[in-house]
Amino acid sequence: MADPLTTDPVTDLTRALERLGLAEFLAGFDDDVPDRRRWAAGVGGLDGVLRTTAGFLLLGEPADLDALPAAVAAAVPELVACALAQEQGGRAQLADVALFRSQGLWLLAEPPSPFPVRHYFGADSVALARRGTYRPGDRVLDLCSGPGFQGLLAAQRGASATLVELLPEVSAAARLNARLNGLAGRTEVRTGDLYASLDAGAGPYDRVIANVPFLPTVSPPGREAPHEGGADGFSVGRRVLDGLPAHLAEGGAAFLTALLLESDGELLSAGELRARSAADGYGLTITLTDRMALDADSDLVQTVVSDHLDTDPQADPAALAAEVTGAFARRGARAARLAYLRADRGMADFRIIEPART
């Protein structure tokens, strides 16, 4: 029996793409690290309408609407309405985003970039998602949802998910991504600041998941951009932890990304995190992964500098690098670690796991 079409051209789009062979094409790539350059090489081997569609949706190539499959052309006005595409004179092009497919979920998001992006999806998104287990009926809260990867994955596994995103244009993209996956009925996307965007008494949630912004910043407290994580990179993460006692169900778990500063192999925030978890009634498991240098030429410091130059182009890059490294040094930090935090309500353990690198 043929799959019935829905009345939503966005939901019907992905069904058509799967029939066209686009999911088969994407299945040949490692989806842990979305990599558009590898797609570009693969698209070279396609032809016909699959080639045109892949160029349009994966590589950001312009296309004539009448050269695209009818289901793709029918969805273009919806993408334009969310500022994810432009269309003029029957010719359309995606705006910044590409169509990704990871763990069976379709997602319009921006390809990873060394520069800040608005519709974020990166290797840390996939690494965080791999840590969660969702069961049908779970109530899930995805804070800092971006275009929706975490919450939509939970909904696809049968959970009912509330997604919260600060930027209205990004929460509109998350709603569109929910429709793309036929999940609009099981998701609610709210625009606002973390828990403050929820109705009074909302929850409790079986799972809270937050891929928080963690780029350290030289912006004054309270004036950080949405992709910045405050002076030590953990200010949004702290606010997520603060809300767990009021929002995490008994037996529930929360999953966060974090950038944690380190001195001589010790986490500077270990004492603070241990005290918080004991006071707030959850066990904490911190898994440490990549170690990042903090000298003036390091990738992390140079990213902080170029991020600041975006808003303050007159600033002197060398002086900024000195300010950033000085701020880290005053805290006693010698390196930063990309970390994943798991908080279990009703447990008391505090663990730091550092898997040996293979």
Ligand X SMILES: C[S@@+](CC[C@H](N)C(=O)[O-])C[C@H]1O[C@@H](n2cnc3c(N)ncnc32)[C@H](O)[C@@H]1O
Q: Give the interface with ligand X as residue ranges (CB under 6 A).
A: 120-121, 125, 128, 143-146, 149-150, 164-167, 170, 193-194, 211, 213, 226, 236
Q: Which is nearer to ligand X, 71 or 117 (CB)?
A: 117
21 DSSP assignment: T
To ligand X, the closest distance from the beta carbon of 254 in angstroms equals: 14
To ligand X, the closest distance from the beta carbon of 213 in angstroms equals: 5
Q: How many Cβ atoms from other residues are within 10 Å of residue 191's Cβ?
A: 18
171: CB partners within 8 A, 6+ apart: 145, 163, 165, 189, 190, 191
- List own/partner pairs for 292-297 with CB under 8 A and 24 or more apart: 292/259, 292/335, 292/336, 292/337, 292/338, 293/335, 294/325, 294/328, 294/333, 294/334, 294/335, 294/336, 295/325, 296/321, 296/322, 296/324, 296/325, 297/321
Q: Which is nearer to ligand X, 303 or 347 (CB)?
A: 303
**CA–CA distance, 288 with 294 (Å, rounded to integer):** 17
Question: Cβ(92)–Cβ(66) under 8 Å?
Answer: no
Element housing 266 (H / E)? strand 266-267
Q: Which is nearer to ligand X, 123 or 288 (CB)?
A: 123
To ligand X, the closest distance from the beta carbon of 167 in angstroms equals: 5
To ligand X, the closest distance from the beta carbon of 227 in angstroms equals: 6
CA distances (Å), origin 145, targets 23, 187, 255: 24, 12, 13
**CA–CA distance, 276 with 113 (Å, rounded to integer):** 34
To ligand X, the closest distance from the beta carbon of 195 in angstroms equals: 9
To ligand X, the closest distance from the beta carbon of 185 in angstroms equals: 21
Q: Which is nearer to ligand X, 76 or 336 (CB)?
A: 336
> Hey, what are 289's tokens?
């992964």
Ranked by CB distance to ligand X, the top (closest) residue is: 146
To ligand X, the closest distance from the beta carbon of 257 in angstroms equals: 7
Q: Which is nearer to ligand X, 177 or 269 (CB)?
A: 177
